[in-house]
């Protein structure tokens, strides 16, 4: 099915194949490049589930989704990276809390690279030897992240907010958790989550939509897949503020201290129009209160409380949502106290209507600018494909958000009982 979105000047071809795979194609004839992204609705938090064909809940080691991402590239007689490289394509993959994605960008041999992408992701190959080898490689990656102060600060915050929820676990796992991963566990997770009906293939670029769809459909029709089965996920929602650890401090080899504050969401955010509108309102609220064009940011900057590293963010998944604020500072306690003071106002925030209107326009400008980048468009379409809102509809949602939506978002999220603080201090002698 093809649908045109005049506001963004794009046409989206959205087709679900007989095996359940959803294919999204956006032709961009004026571009030389093509970007493709093959995503699965499975990420770092999905460690508890009922395996396909079974009835009992299991729990996998932390980091298995990321481990699986690494292993799918390696086959018995080749590595998928080499196949992409032979055509001049650039390939990569990433694992987040909720999704895993495999991608390539190229200016030629699109059909060949699409075939490679589909084939290597849909042909798992795990042996005791290759899995053991990968543990050493990922172990080095884990250690690298453990030596990164910002990473430690972020997961320290999440550990405070979610002591028992897997969103607080590093997506790479730990040395102890990846030691437990076996080929059998990888196959079990793969057959449960890597069903075509739980995946989306997004292609954006200089392609003929019908020829591209025909190629993908033929590729899928030539393969044999197990019948689609419902996925029973066992990670429970966590909106309980009673479990929050209010404070944590870390001593790390840093030149300057760091401070971070987080707020735990206490209600679910649905993946429908209302939930999307709420998320847009929250992000506009953050820009209104803490953006670098605001008076508060300038005041804190002049005081030396913050520098250019200061940032804030909002993340929402099916079983969690949270706000984070973090930055380098000479006085971590003063910065976290200043942040908490703003949060304490709840819905009683002073929000200037004129500034709100400007920030909405700026947000729309960034959105349209992002539509000019193939990777940005493809990633947005892919992410939204697992929700009820199309990425090309986001501009309309943003236009509909009101100042009252921002006050309501502040009232819902800004609660001192939901706050945690984390400080990083230089090691003694560092």
What are the catalytic residues? Answer: 69
Q: Two tokens at 228?
A: 């689609």
The b-or-e profile of 250-267 (16+ CB within 10 A means b, else e) is eebebeebbbbbbbbbee
Residue with tokens 């002591």: 163
Pairing of the two strands 58-59 and 258-264:
unpaired
Q: Is 20 left (phi over 0), alpha (psi -120 to 50) or beta?
A: left
Helices 64-72, 183-193: inter-axial angle, 10-degree rounding: 90
Torsion-angle region of 88 (φ positive above 0: left; ψ -120 to 50: alpha; else: beta):
left
> Which of 286, 292, 313 is closest to 410 using CA atoms?
286
Beta carbons of 104 and 113 less than 8 angstroms apart: yes
Torsion of CA 177, 182, 183, 187, to 10 degrees: -60
Exposure class string for 205-230: b at 16+ Cβ within 10 A, else e: bbbebeebbebbbebbeeeebeeeee
Task: Give the separation between CA 285 and CA 343, rounded to whole angstroms.
Answer: 12
* Tokens coding 79: 């590595």
């Amino acid at each position: 099915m093809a649908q045109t979105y005049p506001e963004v000047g794009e046409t989206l071809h959205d087709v679900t194949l007989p095996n359940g795979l959803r294919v999204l194609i956006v032709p961009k004839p004026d571009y030389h490049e093509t970007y493709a992204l093959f995503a699965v609705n499975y990420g770092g938090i999905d460690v508890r589930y009922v395996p396909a064909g079974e009835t009992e809940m299991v729990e996998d080691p932390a980091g298995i989704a990321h481990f699986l991402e690494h292993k799918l590239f390696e086959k018995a007689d080749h590595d998928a990276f080499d196949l992409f490289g032979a055509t001049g394509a650039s390939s990569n993959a990433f694992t987040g809390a909720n999704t895993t994605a495999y991608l390539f960008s190229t200016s030629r041999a699109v059909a060949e690279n699409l075939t490679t992408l589909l084939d290597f992701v849909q042909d798992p190959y795990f042996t005791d030897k290759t899995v053991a080898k990968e543990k050493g490689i990922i172990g080095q990656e884990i250690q690298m992240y453990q030596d990164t102060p910002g990473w430690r600060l972020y997961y320290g915050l999440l550990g405070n907010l979610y002591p028992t929820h897997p969103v607080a676990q590093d997506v790479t796992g730990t040395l102890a958790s990846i030691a437990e991963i076996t080929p059998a566990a990888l196959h079990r997770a793969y057959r449960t989550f890597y069903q075509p009906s739980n995946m989306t293939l997004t292609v954006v670029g200089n392609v003929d939509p019908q020829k591209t769809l025909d190629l993908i459909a033929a590729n899928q029709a030539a393969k044999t897949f197990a019948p689609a089965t419902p996925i029973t996920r066992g990670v429970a929602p966590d909106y309980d503020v009673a479990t929050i650890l209010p404070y944590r401090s870390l001593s790390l080899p840093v030149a300057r201290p760091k401070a971070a504050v987080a707020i735990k969401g206490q209600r679910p955010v649905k993946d429908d129009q209302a939930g999307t509108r709420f998320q847009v309102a929250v992000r506009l609220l953050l820009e209104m209160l803490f953006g670098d064009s605001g008076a508060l940011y300038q005041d804190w900057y002049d005081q030396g409380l913050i520098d250019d590293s200061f940032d804030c963010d909002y993340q929402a998944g099916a079983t969690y949502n949270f706000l984070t604020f973090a930055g380098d500072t000479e006085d971590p306690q003063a910065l976290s106290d200043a942040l908490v003071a703003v949060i304490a106002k709840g819905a009683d925030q002073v929000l200037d209507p004129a500034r709100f209107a400007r920030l909405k326009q700026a947000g729309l400008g960034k959105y349209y600018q992002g539509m000019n980048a193939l990777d940005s468009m493809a990633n947005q379409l892919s992410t939204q494909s697992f929700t009820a809102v199309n990425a090309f509809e986001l501009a309309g949602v943003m236009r509909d958000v009101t100042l009252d939506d921002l006050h309501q978002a502040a009232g819902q999220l800004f609660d001192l009982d939901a706050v945690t603080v984390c400080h990083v201090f230089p090691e003694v002698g560092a």
